[in-house]
Structure 1
Amino acid sequence: MSSPTPSPAPQRVAVTGGSGKLGRAVVRHLAESGWEVVLLDRVPSPDPVDGVTYVQVDLADYGQVLQALTHVDDRYDSIDAVVHLGAIPAPGLVPNATLFTNNVTASYNVFAAARAAHIRNVVWASSETLLGIPFDLDPPYLPVDEEYAVRPESSYSLGKAVDEEMARHFTRWDRQLKMIGLRFSNVMDDGDYSEFPWDDTPEKKTFNLFSYIDARDGAQAVRRALESDLVGYETFIIAATDTVMATPTAVLAEQFYPTVERRAAVEGTDSLLSSDKARDLLGFVPEYSWRTWGDRVGKQEAPADDQDDAVDAR
């Protein structure tokens, strides 16, 4: 009698910046999807996930990053894939040169250490800011996509542009390497949605064309990028299918961008950031919207009410 075929060992993925807002959603989603997750960050997660290994790492130190992507005593002896999210997350938090130096150095260290460790599956957080955000100058057309050249307008987005150019050359050096940059829109979760919609002050959301992405959908995009069979360098816009507004998108576009070319029709509250490429090549379809936040909150509260009813019945 033949022995049963053993189940394949789970892939081990290192997630830098896994203690951040998007990182926590990514770590949880990957762990729940069968990945063995190693969280690399300066601080542990405030929302720990069972079975996830935490290692304290300073991404500005190449030696630490290389060790973390190869072998850590009593923890693991190899890494199969890397998700790089660790960075100062926005402009204005520190002086410009400090932000640029920190973020670009961290990305180089992760990319180079992954190459040295023969890791050929790398996904990292690029940014919607490369599209020209804040849109003080009009975009070349609407909806925007990945087809026009990047337009960094801050030290933060300039660093992201450097990250993308580095990735392009890392994949040129190794033709078997996959490096996918996800240009995430403004990351939101249920804790943010009580402030939506923004129709009373739409000018506050013109900076990114009224767009956003739920952290859980961002996590889905990361998993799909990791599990895709693409090879080489790719970038994808990752945004919700809707806006942060109740006002129809066509009305907003006419009000704020009346002279910008329309390359596709928008209906209802469709986003002006196109994720069509991610849908077509990664199978990414957002599942969460602020518009159903109230319904989700109600469902989360319902089991407690049902439990009380059951107790009363007994």
Structure 2
Amino acid sequence: MPRSSVCSRAGYDVTGLSLRYDHTSTADRPLVGDARSATDVAAALDGVDAVLHLAAIPHPSLGTPEEVFENNVAATFNVLAQAGQLEVRRAVIASSINAFGVPMNVNDVTPAYYPLDEDVEADIADAYSLSKSVDEQSARMAWRRWGTDVIALRFPLVKSREELLKFAAMAERDPSMMAREGWAYLDLRDGVRAIVAALESPAAGAHVVGLAADDILVDRPTDELLREYAPAVPLRRPVQGRASLVDTTRAQELLGFRPQYSIHQEDQTVSATTT
């Protein structure tokens, strides 16, 4: 459901629905409830124009496979179903770069190609990745059934700059740990911008949109990393410098969104702003 700090800063009147609030909520109408509850969600959606759904168990290690899958899929479907029945016409949901299954796969698999895009072949072997893949199907169903326009944002690693620097230090010690997701990341500020762009996009239908910074997390040339850690993965286009291995063309064309922030350039933008 709506993450209040995201939308409040964009000038929206916000209803927040959360299982609990660990800090004072900035929402105009904070509610305590469960995204899996039809009653709780219907109450939260009363009178709203759009819905942002971010609630999920965010990693397969944070519950049993049954708990992770059932919680995530049930919450997303319920939010979209209630929104559709209440004629809320715009929904944005959090998908994940893991929706194609390879990054968290327990088997020795690699992506079908780089840069990753929304159509890359899936190979799923964990409950979290499966839940995100199903969420994207739920988005398509909601559009077909109720006419709700849905954007499913495939987030990579999203953290504040300070937290990303810590992850970068770990990844540079062992680049193999993020090779299967192309060392992708997104500054939290760009994550917020992408959400607002999706909420305000006039795009009709149900769409999966991949996101990432314009560069990779590790401070090494991308092609050098590929030769060392993914030599057998086909590269669909040349990469220069620390170029990203996530194709964000759809984000640019559908949402008018391009990332601004890079951990390799402190407090400087690296590309055009949202238009």
Fold conserved between structures, TM > 0.5: yes
| Alpha-carbon distance between aligned partners in 1 of 2:238 and 2:220, rounded to the nearest angstrom | 16
What CA distance in whole angstroms lies between the structure 2 residues aligned with 1:46 and 1:285? 31
Give, as a single letter, the amino acid of the residue that structure 2 aligns with 1:163. D
1:147-158 correspondence runs (5 A): 147-158=119-130
Of 198, 202, 205, the match for 1:229: 202
One-letter amino acid matched to 1:271: S
**CA distance in structure 2 between the partners assigned to 1:29 and 1:68 by the alignment:** 17
Q: Equivalents in 1 of 2:186, 2:84: separation in Å?
A: 30
Partner of 2:104: 134
Deviations 1:51-75 (A, max 9, x none): 63211111122221122212xxxxx
Distance (whole Å) between structure 2 residues aligned to residue 280 and residue 211 of structure 1: 20
8 Å Cα contact 1:130/1:151 also seen in 2: no
Coordinate RMSD, CA, aligned: 1.8
CA distance in 2, matches of 1:241, 1:46: 33
Q: Which amino acid in structure 2 is aligned with residue 134 of structure 1?
A: M
Contact 1:133–1:152, Cα closer than 8 Å, also in 2: no
Structure 2 residue aligned with 1:58: 34
| Other structure's SS at 1:199 match | helix
SS at match of 1:262: coil
Mapped to 2, the partners of 1:164 and 1:193 lie a distance apart of 27
Q: Deviations over 1:274-307 (max 9, x none)?
A: 21210122111111221234x58xxxxxxxxxxx
1:190 aligns with 2:136: no
> CA–CA distance in 2 between the matches of 1:83 and 1:151?
28
TM-score, normalised via structure 1 length: 0.79
Instruction: Give the residue type in structure 2 aligned to 1:31.
Output: S
Contact between 1:126 and 1:160, CA under 8 Å: does it hold in 2? Answer: yes
The reply to whether residue 43 of structure 1 matches residue 13 of structure 2 is: no
Query: Deviations for 1:68-91, whole angstroms, at most 9, x for unmatched residues?
Result: 212xxxxxxx11100000011111
Contact 2:87 2:146 in 1 (8 A): no
Question: C-alpha separation between the residues in 2 aligned to 1:163 and 1:142?
Answer: 24
Q: 1:138 to 1:105 in 2, by over 3 A?
A: same
Gaps of at least 5 residues in structure 2 are: 269-275
Bigger radius of gyration among the two: 1
TM-score (norm 2): 0.89
SS at match of 2:62: coil
Q: Deviations over 1:255-285 (max 9, x none)?
A: 1111221111111111111212101221111
Identity across the alignment (%): 33
Distance 1:45 1:35 in 2: 22
Deviations, residues 224-278 of structure 1 (Å, cap 9, x unaligned): 1111111111000111111111110000111111122111111111111121210
**Equivalence map 1:83-162=2 (5 Å):** 83-131=52-100, 132-134=102-104, 136-162=108-134
C-alpha distance 138-80 of structure 1, shift in aligned 2 (>3 A): same
Provide the residue aligned with 1:167 in structure 2: 139
